[in-house]
Amino acid sequence: MIIEIAIRHAVTIGENEEHFMGAVIEDYEKGRLWLVVDPNEVELDADWWQTKEPHEAWGTRFTENMTEFTIRSCTWNGYPVINEEQILEYKELRYV
């Protein structure tokens, strides 16, 4: 899984290294590194629940299942993960 972390000196790290803290560097830009990591190494603190949202189209009423969530934190080795919604989707919601 590819995660995006916020880190100072990302360009310097990306230009000089192939790995960062054991993870392969996929890409980099100012202030951000994209790393290939094991999803189990990402710490996610989140809740999710499903609701039914009512709709009406052409005079027909129906409900649609909606998934809502709250992410309190998402980190990898103490670094904040920027693409936290993708992590939640992969770790928690892919079978919903």
For 16-68, write each residue's pLDDT tens digit.
889 999 999 999 888 889 999 998 999 999 998 989 999 999 999 999 988 88
Q: What is the mean pLDDT of residues 74-83?
A: 93
**Of residues 14, 9, 12, 15, the one with CA closest to residue 34:** 14
Q: Which domain holds residue 79?
A: 2-93
Residue 41: predicted pLDDT: 93
Domain count, the chain: 1
Q: What gap in Å lies between CA 20 and CA 6, rounded to an integer?
A: 13
The contacts of residue 19 (CB under 8 Å, 6+ apart) are: 25
- The verdict on pTM exceeding 0.85 is no
Using alpha carbons, list the distances in angstroms from residue 67 to 46, 47, 84, 90, 94: 13, 11, 16, 14, 11
